[in-house]
Structure 1
């Protein structure tokens, strides 16, 4: 119970932090997504390295975990860049909602990565969530899906893979500070060539917002990494949807953005599917544990 409570607190903190990060990214203005990603992860790299040195945390990567560390970093980097692009080209709440498809994708990839079982009920909830996404994407209104919407959904897919890998690493004995350090360093290295050849000059205010984006992103990253290390993805992911509330609130306060009726309907459908899947997964896990105790 204590682990579960800690997981919930970490996820709520992460949701608020990531929402503020998106606000800062948007307010940084028209800068390349890779440039924004570099500054975001550079700060996370410095913070995680400082914590490792302060706590003197030894590097311990058990056998077979390095490939999961690489996968978490690779897909996490793609997810961050996709998210930054979509935040700049969509309503803040729409971009956030599409990115929040990650728990559904996480449930699917958990079958392969974590060897967890998935039922037809999980698949049904995924179908409902995709139907909710259709309201947000509004393909019938715009004729074709916008590139920003496709990128946002791709970001959710990559984030789902990355978070599943975080859970795998957490249960495999890899310290969360090293997970964040490796991911941040990997992202910075990937963004460095783009920064060199496609650098956009920044004003003092743009640099300030990127620094703030990095700080809030670091808080969010530590929060979500700790949450997935404490509690299984199926049980904790529902609390990540509080980010939609923060995104809608901040979008209105800072940018006067008001989602249309189609988007609101989509939010409700996706959140309802997420709540349903979380409740079903928790009840299913309790039944499995009870049956296991009866067998013993």
Structure 2
């Protein structure tokens, strides 16, 4: 297998792992999203710690990298809690799709925080992604006649906000990667931060869990850990511009799991939203890939 094929395989396996994570979160039942988030991050923290103890990397962080670590952890923690809330109250495929808005938001945050420039194509991609998100939100929660008072809009809006926070978190991950901060260090700091932030709630508002629920949350942590390390490995094998579109394979995985385990069938509006967002992601992928190869040709001439 070529490096690119290995990258594609890893990112598809990562997407399947994250889809399984959402499945286990949903199967854990009526538990607070913060409590579920703690278990998800606790398992990831243990795995990241084990890797750090084994590899013993030299960790040297400047002031800017430390600040990015905190930003990544804050936005990442909010994003996970919001995503878990959406998963508990929406179709698995809808919640997964709203969380996958993060690549588009990461472009916006890169402009704000990293001072990167945006071209017209990227701007229109973000607009189309928003339109696709509205098709997903509308059929699963919004009644246009009772929009101001309809509390069912909350899960969809929370899920969208989770995607926004995830986009911000990934922006700071990229910034730290450019500064040479190792992946396990980022995962360990983020997971530890999330556990510490959610621990007080767990202590004072702990909801008793059955053995079944405990097993589901442990499986949530394992699936999330597999997804995190899988996507890290994918981007080590190949550039994001060449493989990132395959991350959207989580959407059909989530739709299939939702149908098999819960009998969930997205309606026509949701499918149209999937088509718009995934199509926009594919267009952005092809556009960036073409420009990447053109830049390569210019450099070789």
Into which bin does the TM-score normalised by the smaller protein fall?
over 0.9
Say which SS state the counterpart of residue 179 (structure 1) adopts: helix
> How do 1:256-275 residues align onto structure 2 when only pairs under 5 Å count?
256-275=263-282
Shift of 1:8: 2.7
Q: Deviations over 1:89-129 (max 9, x none)?
A: 00111111111101111122223444433111111111111
Paired position in structure 1 for 2:204: 197
Using the size of structure 1 for normalisation, the TM-score is: 0.93
Further displaced range: 207-216 or 281-290: 281-290
Counterpart check, 1:278 vs 2:292: no
Q: Deviations over 1:31-56 (max 9, x none)?
A: 01110000111111111101111122
Paired position in structure 1 for 2:79: 79
Q: CA–CA distance in 2 between the matches of 1:180 and 1:114?
A: 21
CA contact (8 A) 1:103 1:234 kept: no
> How do 1:29-68 residues align onto structure 2 when only pairs under 5 Å count?
29-62=29-62, 64-68=64-68
Say which SS state the counterpart of residue 80 (structure 1) adopts: helix
CA contact (8 A) 1:20 1:213 kept: yes
Paired position in structure 2 for 1:147: 154
Shift of 1:270: 0.8
Say which SS state the counterpart of residue 61 (structure 1) adopts: coil
Say which SS state the counterpart of residue 252 (structure 2) adopts: helix
Q: CA–CA distance in 2 between the matches of 1:129 and 1:290?
A: 31
Q: CA–CA distance in 1 between the matches of 2:218 and 2:262?
A: 20
Counterpart check, 1:206 vs 2:230: no
Further displaced range: 121-130 or 284-293: 284-293
Further displaced range: 235-244 or 257-266: 235-244
For residues 68 and 231 of structure 1, do their structure 2 counterparts lie closer, same or farther at Cα, with a shift above 3 Å needed? farther
Shift of 1:61: 2.2
Further displaced range: 56-65 or 215-224: 56-65
The one of 236, 241, 248 aligned to 2:248: 241
Shift of 1:274: 0.7
> How do 1:82-161 residues align onto structure 2 when only pairs under 5 Å count?
82-138=82-138, 139-141=142-144, 143-144=146-147, 146-161=153-168
Q: CA–CA distance in 2 between the matches of 1:129 and 1:8?
A: 23
Paired position in structure 2 for 1:163: 170
Shift of 1:215: 0.5
Q: Deviations over 1:188-226 (max 9, x none)?
A: 011011111211000000000000000001111112334
Counterpart check, 1:8 vs 2:19: no
Shift of 1:3: 5.4
Q: CA–CA distance in 1 between the matches of 2:7 and 2:108?
A: 21
For residues 268 and 147 of structure 1, do their structure 2 counterparts lie closer, same or farther at Cα, with a shift above 3 Å needed? same
Instruction: For structure 1, list consecutive stretches of 5 or more residues without a partner in the other structure.
Output: none
Shift of 1:131: 1.1
Paired position in structure 1 for 2:258: 251
CA contact (8 A) 1:24 1:210 kept: yes
CA contact (8 A) 1:104 1:126 kept: yes
Further displaced range: 2-11 or 49-58: 2-11
For residues 156 and 142 of structure 1, do their structure 2 counterparts lie closer, same or farther at Cα, with a shift above 3 Å needed? farther
For residues 234 and 208 of structure 1, do their structure 2 counterparts lie closer, same or farther at Cα, with a shift above 3 Å needed? same
Further displaced range: 158-167 or 226-235: 226-235
